[in-house]
Structure 1
Amino acid sequence: MTLKTLVREPLVHFLIAGAALFAFFAWKGEPADPASRTITISQEDRARLALQWQQTMQRPPTDAELDSLTETWLREEILYREALRLGLDQGDAVVRKRLANKMDYLSASAAETEEPSDRTLRQWLADRPQRFANDTAYTFDQLYFSERTRAEAALASLNSGAGWQALGQTISLPPTAEQQTADAVEGRFGIVFREQLDNIAPLGRWTGPHVSGFGWHLIRLRQRDTGKVPPFAQIREQVENDWRAQTLEDRKAKAYQLLRDAYDVTVEK
């Protein structure tokens, strides 16, 4: 990857932004006391509020509307500081989840506004025709497990030559499906399960664990018959939505892995 290509990579922008924030706070010193009774609303703050309004309403705010936006922001800031002062952020699963979600959003937000070229989307379609075909059919075997660790142990047994019929936990799902359409698979196993059938390669091997709304599965996809794919012009929006959703997930995963690699984690048992 060349330097010119590297600097255009959104993940690099995310890491640079994180480093810049780290350097800023290191230079600034200790953050302001959340319980401080002094709040300064700068011109930059009001400009940011006005820009957010304009992006939503497609027009600049009036002076009265900007004053109202400022007062709303001030109310949130005061309540936020008081909540921090009382320690309401400590041990709160909701706050923890929201902050984690914001980090995920930061790592992938560039993909939300990025406009892929037709060439990119055509290649995306060519590489994944089964996602857009009208009547793709699947033939597969599957084993269900309530826990990922059980599925991993079973996969190791299968790789050692164990018979698959003796493995897996009981559930009201068929162990074998023959020439089932995408709609039929989604109706029985769920959309997450069906989407993973589109990504399994090569055929004929046990793979997993794969997650679904039921739990964990090992899947041996024996056949995938791709039906007729509509012309690109008819499904361009669908292809772009698929590209964007997958790109978001890929970038979040890459950003998290980079952060995860910086931690030394010990799980006590």
Structure 2
Amino acid sequence: MFKRLLYEPLLHFLILGGLLFLFYSFSENKEESVDNIFVSQERITQLIEDSEKKLLKILTEEEKQELIDREVYENILYKEALKIGLDKTDIDMRRHLATKMEFVMYDTYTLPVPSDDVLKKFMLANPNDYREEQKISFTQKVLNSALNTFDESYTLSEFEASNIFGRTFAKELFSLAVDAKAQKIESDYAVHEVLISSKPTPKLQRFEKLREEIKSDYLSLQREQKNQTIYEALKLKYSINIEVK
């Protein structure tokens, strides 16, 4: 009977099916238990060069190995963090990844170099960002002083006034308009009677002096607008539901 069973097609099918099941089960478990970490030679070279620039010395073989070990260590912990969902539940990590993604978006496009005409138009469209520092001319006296006249005259920027009289005084001083009537302002050490004599609108600075600053501001705004456009396109891929109380 046993010999007859050996020739039964159904038995052959069941045995073969069982062997295939065991094989694929073993293969799947093996794939799930092993997660590859690959550190390329290019990455190793980058790690070594960055470290040598920072430390201003040539690394020993032991120090190079420590860098590689650290890279493997960080990769393992990073993968484990993803497995337990830290990228979804940890706010700091989520923000860090979002910030990194912004830099990735920067690399997806190249902004054209703006001409001087473009930069000058940008400067004129945002004049308050590129004016000379405003200065106010005023006279003041300390109340309850033995002198009963405006004995001190100044022409100061807000920063200069802050250094002499304190930030509170300077802020209030620059909020005043030119007026024939004296105003009382408190400084860090006394109460002053102040009369504004001149408060001219500061002039625009020379374009040549601020060219690089204007260029930086212009490109920064262009990147911000470009990133917003990319973000709006990405946003369309998601169904967003916000729970409201």
TM class by smaller structure = 0.3 to 0.5
Higher alpha-carbon Rg: 2
Higher relative contact order (CA 8 A, sep 6+): 1
Q: TM-score, normalised by structure 1?
A: 0.43
